[in-house]
Amino acid sequence: MPEIRSFRTQYVGQDQAIPDLAGLDHAGRPVLLVENKFWAGLTPNQPAAYLDRLPEDGPGLLLFVVPPRRLHSIWPDLVVSAARAGLHLPPASPHGSDALWGQ
């Protein structure tokens, strides 16, 4: 990951999507987007608009923070929502006992 120089909350972009937290690099580009998703459903912008904001020419990270009971149910929702936007998400892989990873 590139060095994060600043953080912004409720970071509205041209797409009008509003991730809860954005980590910006030295050029002001979002390289980290964090969305707290406890029991609310996904918005139409999630995850496609958020993924579109991340750099195409380098690393970036989209992180959904969810409670443990929702960990395995959020991924299928993200896959379906991304597919509606023409994006393909890879299968999720466990990363420890409390995280899923898709690369």
Q: What are phi and psi of 29, to 5 degrees?
A: -85, 140
Tokens at 48, concatenated: 């496609």
Contacts of 49 (CB under 8 A, 6+ apart): 13, 15, 17
pLDDT tens track for 33-49: 999 999 899 998 899 99
pLDDT above 80 (res 32): yes
- The pLDDT confidence band at residue 21, using thresholds 50, 70 and 90, is very high
Computed over every residue of the chain, the mean pLDDT equals 92
Determine the Cα–Cα distance for residues 60 and 76; give it in Å rounded to an integer.
Answer: 21
- The pLDDT confidence band at residue 102, using thresholds 50, 70 and 90, is confident
Q: What is the pLDDT of residue 15?
A: 79
pTM, full prediction: 0.90
pLDDT above 80 (res 19): yes
